[in-house]
Structures are given as structure tokens and as C-alpha cells.
Chains A and B, each alone.
Chain A
């Protein structure tokens, strides 16, 4: 697996689609740009001295998630890595390396690229916070929030959003082994949209990793973390089982 990961990862990050995904990391920098323009677009507000750097980062990740565009870009990247390569016959280059190993390598490469995207977003957020946000009245100027409740909110928020993106990426990977690009993308987007409104849905919110954002206080922080992880693992296991079944039967 180690031998295969590096060359496969190279085939992912050298794609134009991968570079487009990374462009969305620049989102927080737009805050600096829009502050120079006479517009209310992307203007932040809040109680005086309430926003720490990590809260700003969590807000950026949440906005990126709500925008859906970065998710679509990543899903499209997944589709080009899987469906397009099956269609174009690129799998011949792998000869009879176990299919599961090939798709696992591709999935890990996609997740690694998402990890790089997250890291880059973190750095642009920190940069924006200490260059621009810190001068605003709502900024607290500290890196971590001082209130425990705020720290817990950040953790639940980030964990739910990141888990959802990971699940939706793997969902699209598996779907694109047997569905066309449009169908895979639409199902992936619908899943992400359901997850983005999940915190506001009563009862069924518990079946989505993002569903505990407003209710974690009532069930307890540790339990909420456990549920987010458990739900994500269940999704991944189901998607993985379908994936193994389908991937073994691919003909190209």
C-alpha cells in the first residue's frame, strides 16, 4: 500500500480539478478584500471581544460547507479520479493489482488532499484573523476561546462538518464506480445538503454527523462526540461494504 500511495496520490494532486479545490482555501482572505470595498458582502459581526482565532476558523469551515461549492469541487475531483479513469481504461495501467487496493489508495489520496485543503484553510484563517479580524471590535484576540462551552461547540462543529465531507467523498467514490458523473454528483450534493440542514431538524438530526451542533448540551458533550463518530463509522462501513461488492465486479 505504501509503495502505491505516492504514485497514486501524484495522479490526484496533479489534476486541474485538485488545484481548483485548493482555491477555496482563500475564502477567509476575501474578508480582507471585501473590507476594502463599499459592500456588506462577507461582513462579520458579533458581541464585543467574543471571537477567538479557532472560533473564526470553525466559522470559515462552516461557511465553506454551507456554500456547497468546495464540497462539489471535491466530489467532482473524486468522480474524475474514479469514474473517468474506469471509462478511459486507465485501470489497465494497474494490471491485476487488487481492485480494492487501487480504490483504497485513490480514496486515501482524495482524503489526504482534503486534509491539505483543511490545513491550508487553517493557515489562511489564522493569517486573516491576525491581519484583519483582530482589529475588529468583535475579536477577542486570543487563539482558543476561554469558555469551555465555546471550545466544545468548535469541536462538535468541526468534527461534524469534516466527518460529513469524508463520508460524502467516499459515497461519491463508490457511486462513481457504477453510476454516471451526473447521478453520482447529485446524490453526493443531496447528502451534503441534508447534512447541512440536519442541525435544524428534530428527531432525524441524530442520523447525520452534523446533527448534534445545537443539541449536544442536552445529551452531554462526550456522548455527542461518540454519536458523531459512531454515525460516521456506520456510514463508512455501509458505503465500504457496497463499494467492495461493486468494485470487484467492475468491467471496463
Chain B
């Protein structure tokens, strides 16, 4: 059985006369690390927000472990969602992680806090408030919050955006070590194609709200796929 199954999913915003997503079908199995690519406005964030239940679909269904996520609550309790870097800027790093665990009734994962902060290189800042953190630090804090309860499935929307090359590398290493240590599934959208290639084992593309699977053959890179041969990493 698929971990995540999307059936004929469509989304049309009230203010638009076109569909942002149209009849999208996707299956993600256990262990799949799916790279979601596409131009700006192709519908990547819309799809991820629908999976995260922050948008309501116009039609279609999304099933997580066989349950329609829109018919039930608490279905996403083992899903980590990082659509944008979110946290309470007036609470310390540690308080943010504690809040996340307490609000989901997962206090047993409090023992993970120090290890996660070590992983994202924020252990020395655990008693600091993130309001004056750099963008990279905010991204890493957001990732720490998402990872602290050891989710089975990760939804990451443009996690590398706004980061300098060093920050991208750091975040990539964190995700790679996390994926290697655990058998999790992930859907991750990004414009950083080479970074996606280093972590994903499958790619799907959105174009004008419609989805297609990408088969990378031979020595071709994801960048070459987009440019028809010319490497554009």
C-alpha cells in the first residue's frame, strides 16, 4: 500500500479563473524520496499545501496510509511539514521544540532535542530567541522542529531557497544523514536541481498544474532534462 496516494486532485482558487492544479495523481511509497520540480507558478507549493491540509481541494482526494486526510483529524501526526520557516520568534529555540512536542502530546521525544539541535548546529543557541537569527539559522531551526518527533514522512517546500552555498550544503548534509539513518518517505520541492539529485530517488514535474513523472536515463542530469541536453545545474 502507498504511504501517500493522491487521486485526481484539483485546486482552483476563488479569485482565479484557471486551475492551479488539475487532476494530479501521485503515489509515494515507503522509502521514496520524491523531488518535485517545475517552474515558478507551476503549482508545487499548492500541491504541498494541499498535502499539509492548509488548502482545501476543489476536487480529488489525498490518502495517507489509506486514510483520506480531509475526512479525519490527526492523520498527519507522524508527518513533518516545512512549507515555510515557522516558529515563535519570542520563544527560545529549546522552548519552540518543547512547544511542538507538547502540543502534539509527544513529550517522549523530548530526549531528542539535544541531538537534533546538534544535528542542525544550533545546540549553542538553544537558549536564544530566534528573532535575530540569520535566514539559514531560521531554516535549520524550522527543520529541527520538523524532525524532533522522528516523522515517517517529510514535506519540504523549497528548503534551500535563500540560503548561501554553504547553507545549502549544510542543510543537504542534515537531510542526507537523516534519510540514511531512517527509512522515511519525503516529498521535496526545489529549484536547486543538483541538490535534489543528490538526495532524491524519484522525480515528478508539475507544468501548468499538471503532473508528469520524470525518468532520468543514463548520464543525463535533472538539469539536462529541463534544458533538453544542455546542463543547467
Contacts and interface: CB of A to CB of B under 8 A. Distances in A.
Nearest to B98: A7
A90 interface: yes
A96 B69 contact: yes
Interface in B95-115: 95, 98-100, 102-105
B52 to A, nearest CB: 7
Q: Give the top 7 A-B pairs by smallest Cβ distance, nearest first.
A: A7-B102, A96-B76, A7-B103, A95-B76, A98-B73, A89-B86, A7-B99
A97 B103 contact: yes
A94 B103 contact: yes
Interface string A222-252: 0000000000000000000000000001011
A127 interface: no
Nearest to A249: B56
Contact of A14 (B75, B82, B91): B91
A103 B82 CA distance: 21
Given A11-B91, A14-B88, A14-B91, 8 more contacts: A7-B98, A7-B99, A7-B103, A14-B95, A92-B86, A93-B99, A95-B52, A98-B73
A8 interface: yes
A4 B105 CA distance: 8
Contacts of A92: 52, 54, 81-84, 86
B83 A97 contact: no
B120 interface: no
A97 B104 contact: yes
A7 B99 CA distance: 5
Contacts of B81: 92, 95
Nearest to B70: A96
Interface in A1-18: 3-4, 6-8, 10-11, 14-16
B145 interface: yes
29 contacts: A3-B103, A3-B105, A4-B103, A7-B98, A7-B99, A7-B103, A8-B103, A14-B90, A14-B91, A14-B95, A15-B90, A89-B86, A90-B86, A90-B87, A90-B88, A92-B81, A92-B82, A92-B84, A92-B86, A93-B100, A95-B77, A95-B104, A96-B53, A96-B69, A96-B73, A96-B77, A97-B103, A98-B73, A252-B54
A10 B100 CA distance: 12
Interface of A: 3-4, 6-8, 10-11, 14-16, 88-98, 249, 251-252
A17 to B, nearest CB: 10
A173 to B, nearest CB: 18
A89 B164 CA distance: 24
Nearest to B55: A251
B77 A251 contact: no
A251 B56 contact: yes
B67 to A, nearest CB: 11
A97 B90 CA distance: 23
B9 interface: no
Nearest to A3: B105
